[in-house]
Amino acid sequence: MYRANVRMPQMGSSVHESTVIEWKKSVGDRVLKGDPLLSAESDKVEFEIESPASGLVKEILVSPDATVPVGEVLAILETEEEVSEDTQEAPQPSGPPKATEWVAPVAPMRREKPVQAALPAPPSRTAAPDTAGGSLLSPRVQRLAAQHGIALDTLSRIPGSGAEGRITARDLERYIADGGESEPPSVPLSFSPIIDDPEETFETREPFNRLRRRIAENLTRSVSEIPQVTTFLEIDMGRVAAWRDANKDEFRNAHGTALTFTPFFALAIIAALRDPENARLNGACEDGTLIIKRYINLGIAVDTPDGLMVPVLAGADTLGFADLALRLSDLAERARSGTLKPDDVKGGTITLTNFGASGAIFGNPIINPPEVAIVGSGAVAPRAVALPGGGVGVRPTMGLSITFDHRANDGMAAGRFAASIRAALEGMDLSQLEF
């Protein structure tokens, strides 16, 4: 008798893992060559893995719903004849092999044609080529969505736990079990005048309060004295969003406050400014001189009942992740409650403003003088994006904007700084984040 390892096959050059859906055979079952052993799905297709020869199922090593990399051993067969090695053989383990290594042949999933009514494809959209990874919803997800009447725009809002942030069947089943989305509120329309009493005043005058006057003076000075240019780019927030979703409950339990995206943005800005090539974006322009500062006092724009305030987190570059998140939250709360101290709003070297708090995708921020740059972050939300290999997928993305003082820096320097922030957010070593 011979033994053969059944491995997860590669379904396209850019597919690196697939999910076991259901075992069709059990340990001890006899199988014939070509019998389906199990069904699995990649990010693009559902398929069956067949037995390479007649024999006995000795071991099943992977449970249903488990996602495993290409080449992972799924089962061990005791076969009546030696199984020849397939041309798409998985990498051999170290040491002399004890069993024939074989990559399972695959067959299209034998299933009824899924109902497509709930997922109409846009007329101009074409199917992704086989080389695209994570580009389409799997057939199983499409069937579940069609069965439950879940539209494509709703699917785009469900956080995905699969490879590259894709939505898996488990994600959708969990969403359905939780009751799905509530119906959006109905906004009533009124076609009567706002004021229909001729005795009432149709206009009111509201003098600026002290804070509003300071805001007006500061921003007027900014736009009248500083030649400002804004550059925009889009950032894939998939990894950061998944880490935050996985850890936000634990963070709240440990610290009693919500884990927002703001500390991640702050970390990325700090990481970008550590590069000497970006140092000129962290400083002040005074009397024809650029003062470059090699410490980071990060200003955070906060919307308060009286107007915009920008408290400053001094020494932001010296803080760990948890301290950074807690100090930023504390500053924002004290700004809203009106309990900031004078030193809390002084000495900023660069400012972060979050347009995403209002749902905006992008914004064009105004520099807070005498600083020479301000970073704006848009809403983090699922959007259709082009993927490597030519596919189209749904990923959580964010619009980033950077306004810079053209007296102190040129467009190439600002673009390099923006690219550094994007690289930090997309490639952040999340294993180093402790709280």
Q: What is the pLDDT of residues 239-286, one digit of tens each?
A: 999 999 999 999 999 999 999 999 999 999 999 999 999 999 999 999
Average pLDDT over residues 174-185: 69
Domains in the chain, start-ordered, CATH in brackets?
2-108 (2.40.50.100), 139-177 (4.10.320), 210-385+392-432 (3.30.559.10)
348-362 exposure pattern, b = at least 16 Cβ within 10 A, e = fewer? bbbbbbbbbbeeeeb
pLDDT of residue 121: 39
pLDDT of residue 112: 40
The per-residue pLDDT for range 93-146, each reduced to its tens digit, is 333 333 344 444 444 444 343 333 333 333 333 333 332 233 356 767 777 777
Task: Yes or no: say if 78 and 58 are a contact pair by the CB < 8 Å rule.
Answer: yes
Q: Does the pLDDT of residue 370 top 80, yes or no?
A: yes
From the candidates 16, 148, 255, 406, give the one annotated as an active-site residue: 406
pLDDT-derived band at 86, boundaries 50, 70, 90: low
Strand order in the sheet with 2-7: 30-31, 55-60, 73-79, 2-7, 100-103
Mean pLDDT of the chain: 82
Specify the 3-state DSSP secondary structure of 197: coil
C-alpha angle 149-154-155 in degrees, rounded to nearest 5? 90
pLDDT of residue 207: 92
Cα gap 74→62, rounded to integer Å: 5
Cα gap 333→311, rounded to integer Å: 10
Alpha helices in 49-200 (DSSP H): 139-147, 152-155, 169-177
Q: Does the pLDDT of residue 89 top 50, yes or no?
A: no
pLDDT-derived band at 192, boundaries 50, 70, 90: confident
Average pLDDT over residues 306-317: 94
| The two structure tokens encoding residue 125 | 């959209």
Percent of the chain with pLDDT over 70: 83
323 is catalytic: no
pLDDT of residue 136: 54
Nearest to 401 by CA among 383, 432, 375: 375
- CB-based contacts of 96, cutoff 8 Å, min separation 6: none
410 is catalytic: yes
pLDDT of residue 253: 94
Is the preceding peptide bond at 9 cis, omega within 30 degrees of 0? no
pLDDT of residue 13: 56
From the candidates 148, 287, 410, 429, give the one annotated as an active-site residue: 410
